[in-house]
Chain A
Amino acid sequence: MKNKLSHFAIPYVIWMALFVVVPIIMVVLYAFSAAGGGFTLANFARMGTYAVVFLRSFKLALIATAVCLLIGYPVSYMMSKEGPQFQRLAMVLIMLPMWMNFLLRTYSWMSILENNGLLNQLFQKIGLIALYNQVFGTDLQYFRLINTQGAVVLGMVYNYLPFMILPIYSVIIKLDRSLIEAARDLGANTFNVFRRVILPLSLPGVLSGITMVFVPSVSTFAISKMLGGGTEMMLGDLIEQQFLGGAYNPQLGAAISLVMMVIVVVCMWVMNRFGEGEEQAVMM
């Protein structure tokens, strides 16, 4: 019975092999190859040059993840406390933007953040820019919103926030109500019910939320290109350049990809260990 059903998994296994395993092997092979062929470590020797890009990518991804968590957790928690109708509505609102391609959504952010975009026009209208100039003695025509690190973080948060909310929400909503009643029965006030029961039990959701936001944020290139204007180059942009751009050097691109993958995997591993540790710490 089980064996018969497992035949249905074969297409997926083939898919995985062709489009996940083989590419990873190719990345590894490329990373250790010289341009003309043959084994080399030269690609990795150049990695130091890009330390700035690595740092910037991880920094922005970390900030975006933290912001997503700070917004996403309270939203998930509040949602879980509301009635089923509100929950359905909120769910639709959270999912709605995801029904549209994320490049389109990011383009719309461009037109909002541009120097003469929607926001700056609004600030102009309400006299905010004039007020700022007066107070700080500057002579600005507009606020510089686009092509900043802040804009990149904003783009990441906007795009990846649902991936933080959904796993946390689904963990909280499944919490056994009687655990909360038990905690209240044992003398816990609202804060302690949250701190001692809901928070530790929702940690698995938080961890998968962090993973689902952090990993795509580190490697994003479209968002940084569109909202960062290329001035804030990130790992994704760097890698893209090596494969498609003027700096054509697939071996170096593969090496950068590999280093990034290793760092991400290590981060995730450490975090999951920390997650278990946190559970222990709460216990103690």
Chain B
Amino acid sequence: MSKELIRLRDLCMAFDDEPVLNHINLYINDKEFLTLLGPSGCGKTTTLRIIGGFATPTSGDVLFDGVRINDVPPYQRQINTVFQKYALFPHLNVYENIAFGLRMQRRPDPNDPTGKRKVKIPEEEIDQRVMEMLEVISLKGFEHRKPDALSGGQQQRVAIARALVNRPKVLLLDEPLGALDLKLRKDMQIELKRIQQQVGITFIYVTHDQEEALTMSDTIVVMDKGCIQQIGTPEDIYNEPKNAFVADFIGESNIIDGVMVRDKIVKMYGREFPCLDGGFGENEPVDVVIRPEDIDIVPVEQGQLTGTVTNVTFKGMQYDIIVDFRGFKWLIQTTDHSPVGARIGIKIDPDGIHVMKKSQYSGMFGDYSSFSEEYDELDDASLALDEEESGDEE
């Protein structure tokens, strides 16, 4: 798990003098499930294309097993790709799609002592490996179908099998679940994780869907504006976001201006809250992240803060309520119903408070004043993202 396989060293990329990647430094371990997560245009697909060999960085190096591979063409890399819209060959059936990579391969002739003669992979072996893959993706019996006779989820799995049959050391996946509906996407997330563990290779996954990233990844790399914002395990990223961008992008966050009075005491709304963070300067201004599920609603008189409920949305498992605390609106997720207009008190446990240094993103996120509109935007955005992604980074 800990052996380093790929290293990106000071990678920069620009299209027409427009910087797309800024000094990306990243190492990826063998057998790791790593996700590049970020909004459209953050450079995640470009990073993936550079690793796959479809784009050449403006500067910086790509190392594979310690060897620089900047100029190695895609077909000579031990890396295969699952493309955004699958890119299955429409004129070939499932079997031939999966066998494609094997038919392209030449390897040293075992009967040739000099080892110079290259031979094709024998038909029996191709057959055996294709059938093996069909088993892995649970599509046995579909081998003679053409791709257009398959559902989206099945095409997706064929695309994965087509890449995996070559036994690459790394599989690159570019928003592979983007075109599937929600239910199927959830199933495929689990399926992908299972396949990754079964074949035991590195997966590098690109997505703008934070939930997908949290579900599947060993490591998440959050990117924005061509820069890495944070690298960490899903738990790290969620619980200890480094800045307001990460906090907002991963899950829901209330981000409040605060002042670090001293270690373990942060001041918000003129009131001191105990917390677990330390290591800041005395009275240093900070961003405070409070997750909506870490807030307890209590009677007004017991509350650390009191506010007015301005909006209630029933979400099935919980209510999303918007509470106005002196003009700054918080999102609170609770199982207790509080009517609009009610005065409530809230209490936050010390471990529910996460303090971050101020950054360029301070003040841009974490206010739920435009709550309902933001939700609408999110819905539109996820649709728009798919279309943009495919076009803008070619």
Contact = CB atoms under 8 A, between A and B. Distances in A.
Interface of A: 176-179, 181-189, 192, 196-197, 200-201, 279, 282-283
Given A187-B101, A187-B166, A279 B75 contact: no
Interface stretch (B20-28, B86-94, B185-193, B312-320): B86-94
Nearest to B84: A178
Query: What are the 9 tightest A-B residue pairs by CB atom distance, in nearest-first order?
Result: A187-B104, A186-B101, A178-B87, A182-B87, A187-B75, A185-B81, A200-B91, A184-B74, A178-B83
Contacts of A184: 54, 73-75
10 contacts: A179-B89, A182-B88, A182-B89, A185-B163, A186-B101, A186-B166, A196-B100, A201-B90, A201-B91, A283-B92
Interface string B66-91: 00000001110001110111011111
A185 B83 CA distance: 10
A188 B75 CA distance: 6
A41 B286 CA distance: 101
B81 A182 contact: yes
B146 to A, nearest CB: 9
A178 B166 contact: no
Given A181-B83, A182-B162, A186-B100, 18 more contacts: A178-B85, A181-B54, A182-B88, A182-B89, A183-B100, A184-B73, A184-B75, A185-B74, A185-B81, A185-B163, A186-B80, A186-B166, A187-B105, A187-B166, A188-B75, A188-B104, A197-B89, A283-B92
Nearest to A203: B91
Interface residues of B, number: 28
A187 B52 CA distance: 12
Contact of B75 (A178, A185, A201): A185
B75 A186 contact: yes
A186 B31 CA distance: 20
Interface of B: 52-54, 73-75, 79-81, 83-85, 87-93, 96, 100-101, 104-105, 162-163, 166, 394
Contacts of B90: 179, 201
Contacts, number: 69
A152 B217 CA distance: 68
A283 B143 CA distance: 12
Contacts of B162: 182, 186
Contacts of A177: 394
B83 A182 contact: yes
Contacts of A181: 54, 74, 81, 83, 87
A271 B83 CA distance: 35
Nearest to A180: B87
Interface centre among A181, A182, A279 (most CB of B within 10 A): A182
A171 B276 CA distance: 63
A197 B93 CA distance: 13
Nearest to B75: A187
A185 B80 CA distance: 6
Nearest to B105: A187
Nearest to B162: A186
B107 to A, nearest CB: 11
B84 to A, nearest CB: 7
Contacts of B83: 178, 181-182
Contacts of B80: 185-186
